[in-house]
Structure 1
Amino acid sequence: MTITTAGARFLAAFNDIEKHFRSTLRADVAVGFAQLIRDYGQRRPLSHQQKNALVAFASLRNAISHGTYYGGRPIADPVETVVQEIEHLRQQIIEPPLALTVLKSGNVCAVRPDDPISTALEHVRAFGYSQLPVYDDGYVSVLTTNAIARWLADQLARNTGIAEEEPVRQVLRFAEPGGRRAGL
């Protein structure tokens, strides 16, 4: 039996993924690969596309490992792009990227409890934010556009006019329960 370099790379990546699934799930060798995909997908994030690719790769693995041989070679041999795909998938599954490496970096807009609400509203207007962290020697709360809308409705109902200089701390009183820290 002779397996090409591409076939060997493919099988190595597939076996690494299967070993990772079995180890993570503490699954017995009797559990089939399709069941491993389902069980792993319930515990860890696997996209629909990744699951479909894994099912296809399992079929190819079976053709390479268990299929008919012709002239000492398997009848299936993965092309380079398939090998690269499974190697990339192995990397994503076994060593998923950290959120900070995937997300765009940038400055975080935050406000302080004593900042005027106009500062927060400027961040909402300029950047389209719907939530802003509130810090005061550490994290305090999240100011949401929902809380701002409730504060605005209260301002209008009391017929007091919109107080642009109202401190964020006062607007946080209209935050969702559990979204604000006691004492504000």
Structure 2
Amino acid sequence: MRNSDNFLAAFNRIEQFLNNGNTSGVYRPFTQLVRDQTERNVTVKRNKDQLAKFSNLRNAIVHQSTKGTYAIAEPHDSIVEEIEKVEQELTNPPKVITQFQKKVEIFKHNNSIADVLKIIRDRDYTQFPVYKEEEFIGLLTENGITKWLARNIEEDIISLEETNLIDILEFEEEVDNYIFIGKEMNVYEAEEIFKDFPHTRERLDALLITHSGKKTQSLLGIITTWDILQFYKT
């Protein structure tokens, strides 16, 4: 197939995808479909400039005539690769469960700070979900541990084995320094949560993945801003 055929096929599939999200019941041109969905679809939002470019290119290479539609120019290979990549991102964005599922190290409220410090030393973790019985009660971070140490170091008497995690959780500045998300959320939606957090809270340390985003469900994975950065490097 010619590059123009591949480009137009991908463009038409993208337009069909956007049309599937058209709830107005009336015809919308391609650029209007993009504008309509930019506010409610993160993946469309992140690709809106490219989609506008594809729309202009589509109009430039296609000539409408009484004999049908045919291409009057051939797009470069890189353009075809770009539009096919955007199509894949729109129609099948990577899910958080496929990218960030892992065994999460969890702790009980009566575990000692010594237990956590050993994990930091051996595995370089920085976030620690804490449970009381089966109930999630908070996310302990290095920041909270540092504040606890700073507050208690003046006494010069700190027992790492006798200090329980529930006593350190109160040193987390933000009680809600976490958000639970469902496993079907895509990575770009998760990234958007981190981008938006300054408008909703002072600090967001992690997204905690469960089956449907309920804190009563088992943890399937954990995402930090560092994890998002690493995702784009792979």
Q: TM-score higher than 0.5 here?
A: yes
> How many residues matched?
171
Structure 2 gaps of 5+ residues are 178-234
Query: CA offset at residue 46 of structure 1?
Result: 3.5
Change (3 A) 1:156 1:177: same
Letter in structure 1 aligned against 2:151: D
Aligned twin of 1:29: 27
Give the structure 2 partner of residue 65 of structure 1: 62
**1:150 aligns to 2:147 (yes or no):** yes
Query: Is 1:111 the counterpart of 2:119 in the alignment?
Result: no
Larger Cα Rg: Structure 1 or Structure 2? 1
- Distance apart, 1:57 and its partner CA: 1.4
How far, CA to CA, are the matches of 1:88 and 1:17 in structure 2? 11
In the superposition, the TM-score normalised over structure 1's length comes to 0.73
* TM-align CA RMSD: 3.1
Correspondence list, 1:1-12, <5 A: 5-12=2-9
- Larger proportion of helix: 1
Specify which of 130, 143, 166 is matched with residue 126 of structure 2. 130
Cα distance, 1:88 vs. partner? 2.4
Between structures 1 and 2, the one with greater strand share: 2
Distance in 2 between residues matched to 1:126 and 1:53, nearest whole Å: 44
CA distance in 2, matches of 1:57, 1:76: 14
Q: Secondary structure at the match of 2:138?
A: strand
How is 1:164-183 mapped onto 2 (pairs within 5 angstroms)?
A: 164-165=160-161, 166-176=163-173, 178-179=175-176
Distance in 1, Cα, partners of 2:91 & 2:152:
53
- Aligned counterpart for 2:41 among listed residues 44, 69, 72: 44
Identity, % of aligned positions: 32
Please say if 1:95 is aligned against 2:92.
Answer: yes
Aligned counterpart, 1:162:
158
In structure 2, distance between residues paired with 1:23 and 1:53: 20
Query: What letter matches 1:164 in structure 2?
Result: L
Partners of 1:113 and 1:74 lie apart in 2 by 67
Confirm whether residue 76 of structure 1 aligns to residue 85 of structure 2.
no
TM-score normalised per structure 2: 0.59
The unaligned stretches of length 5 or more in structure 1 are none
* Cα displacement (A) at 1:56: 2.1
In the alignment, which residue of structure 2 is the partner of 1:18? Answer: 15
